[in-house]
Amino acid sequence: MPNQNPDPENRKIMVVDDDPYLLTAIHQTLTLHGYNVNSFDKPVDALESLSSCSCLAVIADVKMPVMDGLEFLQRVKEKDPDLPVILITGHGDVDMAVVAMKKGAYDFLEKPVDEDVLLSSLSRAIEKMQLVMTNRDLSRRLELAGEKRDSFHGLIGAHPLMQKLYDAIQLVAREEYPVLITGETGTGKELAARAIHDLSSRKGKPFVAVNMGAIPEDMLETELFGHEKGAFTGAGQLKLGKFEFAADGTLFLDEISNMPFNLQAKLLRVLEDNAIIRLGANDSIPMRARIITATNCDLVQEVETGRFRQDLYFRLNVLPITMPPLRERRSDVPLLFKYFCDQYALEHGLKTDCIDAAVLDSINRQDWPGNVRELKNYAKRLCVYRGSGDTSLTGCPKASAGQLKPAAASLREAMEEAEKKHIIEILRQHSGQITVTHKALNISRKSLYDKINKYKIDLGSFRG
């Protein structure tokens, strides 16, 4: 049934296709559902129009003369990186879909386009763009007001990247859609998840955090979904899973890339049906918790290598949040360091005299690969040694933090280089066969894939 939206000006869509029949069909379908549609049969004309058109989403064919859909996508992203682009192809092409996703496509649909699928994808794209536009407006108003925060719900930092992060957290907290938080180890992903929870309507309700990498694989399903009494040997009583414990609150799934592939399908079903089924049960239970996930991996790359489901990635990545690494906001290092020193000194009744010119000079010269967590641990260590009367930077009279760092880095690099050479040698012995190699190395398949990606090892070079 057509959507009778009273304000089509707020629903502007651009459609680009060299096929006049498909262009007309999509134009008519979207118009009937209340959208204000601008149609173009030439990508160049569409790009020119983007400068003056405030559309909320773009739908484009992949196969077009002069400029194909992927090039068009790239040109659109150059004009507005946040504008959602939905690409349509004449045949299912997984490789093309992965490339499009890496280039920033919002969705990838196959012809003949199912009307319900198109409308659903477009609706989600518009909701995401409306959030972006609200965020931009809020940022402009904050800039005009000169407002600058140096802390926000446990997150510390006054750098513009942190101001942008705070704004994004406030925006997504108002919504109910899944949030995907990406960032390096130690950047504060769980703090961001808790901030979203505390700022949402679910504040005061459970916040349940689960680390996918900390639970043995054979126990993860029952930890998440629970089980019925007698579901398997040893299941002597009913067990509630984390989804049920989260109830009307928030379930935070950290290190989501470590979720086993078979459980990824089950999580996808939960997100689609808003219901869970305990292990050994027949009936489903409504799932009311909001899902927030986090990862320090590149999930697009995980999808490309077949270790993470593409459909689940799209479901989780509705509202993305990116945590900036400490090296990209160096001006926050002294602020964070003072905060951690003051906090530790207060907790232990110590004097807050840890910071001097030598310390600041030392910490400002470091890259802090472990990010905020590493800086926090160093601040604690410094407070402990200073509190004991040791005046050196680290408690080692003959070494300063600045002197220790290169040695640690060189040792780590040497160990990683040795590990890389060993993995390459075993892969060569087994012609690049993953199943045999991971057993020979006595590590899991996932760990092997992670190291292959980390060291940028080309598997094709081992296969004839």
- Residue 5's pLDDT is what? 45
Within a domain: 178: yes
Same domain, yes or no, for 160 and 308? yes
Both 299 and 170 in one domain: the answer is: yes
Other beta carbons within 10 angstroms of residue 138's beta carbon come to 14
Same domain for 337 and 214: no
Judge if 359 and 249 occupy the same domain: no
**What's the CA gap between 185 and 257, in Å, rounded?**
13
Q: CA 30, CA 119: separation in Å to the nearest integer?
A: 8
Q: So what's the pLDDT on residue 246? A: 94
Residue 3 lies in a domain: no
Whether 317 and 238 map to the same domain: the answer is: yes
Block means of pLDDT (10 residues each) for the chain, length 464 residues? Answer: 48 91 93 93 90 86 86 91 90 73 87 90 89 73 60 90 94 94 95 96 94 88 90 85 94 95 94 92 92 95 92 94 94 89 78 65 84 90 68 39 41 70 84 81 80 82 65
Does one domain contain both 371 and 428? no
In contact, 333 and 378? CB cutoff 8 Å: no
Q: How far apart are CA 38 and CA 59, in angstroms?
A: 10
pLDDT of residue 354: 58
- C-alpha distance from residue 425 to each of 422, 430, 431, 440 (Å): 5, 9, 10, 11
Distance CA 49, CA 131 (A): 23
Q: What pLDDT does 359 receive?
A: 75
User: What per-residue confidence (pLDDT) applies to 399?
Assistant: 34
Residue type, 378: Y
Are 160 and 306 contained in the same domain?
A: yes
pLDDT for the residue 72: 92
CATH at residue 71: 3.40.50.2300
Residue 242: predicted pLDDT: 95
What is the distance between the alpha carbons of residues 264 and 279, in angstroms, rounded to a whole number? 15
233's CB contacts (< 8 A; 6+ apart) are none
Q: Is 409 contained in some domain?
A: no
The per-residue pLDDT for 4 is 42
CA dihedral 452, 456, 461, 462 (to 10 degrees): -20
Q: What separation in angstroms does the CA of 412 have from each of 95, 376, 415?
A: 36, 20, 5
CA distances from 302 to 102, 107, 132, 299, 389 (A): 11, 17, 26, 5, 49
Cα distances (angstroms) measured from residue 83 to each of 78, 105, 210, 388: 10, 9, 33, 56
**β-strand 207-211 against 250-254: which pairing, if any?**
parallel
Domain hosting residue 105, numbered range: 8-125
Last residue of a domain, one of 125, 160, 191: 125
| pLDDT at position 25 | 92
> Are 108 and 69 within 8 A, CB to CB?
no
The reply to whether 160 and 238 lie within a common domain is yes
CATH code for position 383: 1.10.8.60
If asked whether residues 333 and 386 sit together in one domain, one would say: yes
Same domain as 330, residue 311? no
Show which of 354, 370, 399 is a domain's final residue.
399
Strands (E), 233-378: 250-254, 275-276, 285-286, 290-295, 319-322
Asked whether residue 52 is assigned to any structural domain, the reply reads yes
412's CB contacts (< 8 A; 6+ apart) are none
Based on the domain organization, do 234 and 382 belong to the same domain? no
Residue listed under structure tokens 């959507």: 3
Q: Are residues 433 and 385 in the same domain?
A: no
The number of domains in the chain is 4
CATH code assigned at 427: 1.10.10
CA atoms of 245 and 223, how far apart (whole Å): 10
pTM: 0.61
